[in-house]
Structure 1
Amino acid sequence: MAMHAAAPESITADPPPQPWPAPLGVALADVAFLHWPVEPAQVRPLLPPGTEPDTYGGDTHVGLVAFRMRSFGEFLETNVRVYSVDDKGRRGTVFLTMEADRLPWVVAARLCGLPYAWSRMHLTRNAHVLDYGSSRRRPKPPTPGNRIRIRVGPPIDGTPLEHFLTARWRLHLSVSGHTVAAPLVHDRWPLHTAELLDLDDQLIAATGLPSPTTAPASVLYAPAVHGRFGIPRPI
């Protein structure tokens, strides 16, 4: 398969200028990032047409990301994501599943082409330890879900790999058979180290990727960012 024509854009921890118009405001809090390296060939069939796996050191990555989100109300979300680059060199994120516990948001987002699933979810905090959980409501059991428990450490500037995994400023998705790019610009991530205390996950395997058999290559935490979605446009 032909690779993208243009060289990938630079990775920047600081956000680009906010797109206009940017009609949808969002706030993300208590964000836990877990990442594993994956062979690009395993990810390529899951990407929208016109995009390729974005790689760092020859590997692409699958991320398991859990957080609290506010946009027209507050809800919990856990998503499985991979990383893409289009033929113009624009880096992006592709969501393979997005679990959330707010049904109106799930219904509206699915109409926009995002792979949301309605789930029962929890997030509890005891000092520096956060416990995230999800269990998909439909179809009937057994249903995929997960539990993540981390201990938050001190703030860090972040390595180039950590910025590659977190500083993604657009989504790539397929809408009505067409691949579009939707800008998402938010504050620079205030990254912290984090220690994974417990993980029980079926969500990654439910996307068609192999379930990880090793510890994550990267575990990070961010307390909060605010941002806005721009208008999706064809790639």
Structure 2
Amino acid sequence: MQAGTTTLRGMCLLHWRVDPERLRSRLPASLSLDVHDGSAWLSLVACRVDSLRPRGAPRSLGWTYPEAHLRTYVTTGDGDLASYLFAVECGDPTVARVATATGFPYRRADAVIDREPDTFRFRSERTGPGAPPATVEVAYRPADRPPIVERDRWLVKRPVQFASPNGRLRRLTLRAGEYDLRPARATVETNDLFAAEGLPTPQSPPVARFCPSLTMAAGLPRPVR
């Protein structure tokens, strides 16, 4: 059942290799860490959420705000490819409150995404109570190289999303349009989100990708029994 739709714009996708053994203990027992070329991956995705709205509602009634989320990659016992959310930094307090009530790890944040002639700048700083402080600042722009590879498709083709911030696993089904992935150049100016979530902070530069826009529809979050 489709519950909501939106378009994600100006997406920056930053992917870091991580030793699988440093992530497995953070996952629920029913999920298996997915690896590529022997590595697990942590990803930070920043974008502007454009006109998030219930199915059938006009665009004028939607919410538009900056957002960033931190995720890794998993498979289910049925072999479904999925992502697992550790945190979502949300620039709209209403959306953050509603999403938190559904069992997903949304954090209220002061967030802004600006566009200069050829560069995007994203900044988010947590303001909501009950979570460690975290700030993310990234400058990014599309680039001509290197080419998109099979791993990039492996990272984004994830029609299922899981989260369990309160120890209760939730599942969300996503339906996304085609990713127009492009190489990108990115400078991570501040990122203490990994530490705030108790995750290993990668020391090497990320693989950076850019997607100008992506249509997205989501179902209703459901508990996993």
The interval holding the TM-score normalised by the smaller chain is 0.7 to 0.9
In 2, are the aligned partners of 1:112 and 1:175 still within 8 Å (CA)?
Answer: no
- Give 2:88's aligned residue: 98
Q: How many Å separate the matches in 2 of 1:232 and 1:140?
A: 22
1:142 CA displacement: 8.1
Range 171-180 or range 54-63, more displaced: 171-180
- Which of residues 194, 203, 224 in structure 2 aligns to 1:204? 194
Q: How many Å separate the matches in 2 of 1:47 and 1:189?
A: 27
In 2, are the aligned partners of 1:171 and 1:183 still within 8 Å (CA)?
Answer: yes
Query: Does 2:210 correspond to 1:221?
Result: yes
Q: TM-score scaled by structure 1?
A: 0.84
Q: How many Å separate the matches in 2 of 1:207 and 1:142?
A: 8
Letter in 2 for 1:28: L
Q: How many Å separate the matches in 2 of 1:117 and 1:178?
A: 17
State the Cα RMSD in Å. 2.3
In 2, are the aligned partners of 1:146 and 1:200 still within 8 Å (CA)?
Answer: yes
In 1, are the aligned partners of 2:105 and 2:164 still within 8 Å (CA)?
Answer: no
In 1, are the aligned partners of 2:133 and 2:196 still within 8 Å (CA)?
Answer: no
- Give 1:192's aligned residue: 182
In 1, are the aligned partners of 2:12 and 2:47 still within 8 Å (CA)?
Answer: yes
Letter in 2 for 1:23: A
> What is the correspondence of 1:30-179 to structure 2 with a 5 Å cutoff?
30-70=10-50, 71=52, 72-139=62-129, 143-154=133-144, 158-174=148-164, 178-179=168-169
Q: TM-score scaled by structure 2?
A: 0.87
Q: Which runs of 5+ in 2 are unaligned?
A: 53-61
Query: Does 2:161 correspond to 1:181?
Result: no
Q: How many Å separate the matches in 2 of 1:176 and 1:126?
A: 39
- Give 1:5's aligned residue: none
1:85 CA displacement: 0.7
Query: Does 2:219 correspond to 1:230?
Result: yes
Q: How many Å separate the matches in 1 of 2:214 and 2:170?
A: 24
Q: How many Å separate the matches in 1 of 2:73 and 2:214?
A: 20
In 2, are the aligned partners of 1:151 and 1:197 still within 8 Å (CA)?
Answer: no
- Give 2:56's aligned residue: none
Letter in 2 for 1:182: L
In 1, are the aligned partners of 2:86 and 2:165 still within 8 Å (CA)?
Answer: no
In 2, are the aligned partners of 1:186 and 1:226 still within 8 Å (CA)?
Answer: yes
In 1, are the aligned partners of 2:134 and 2:193 still within 8 Å (CA)?
Answer: yes
Percent of aligned pairs with the same residue?
A: 23
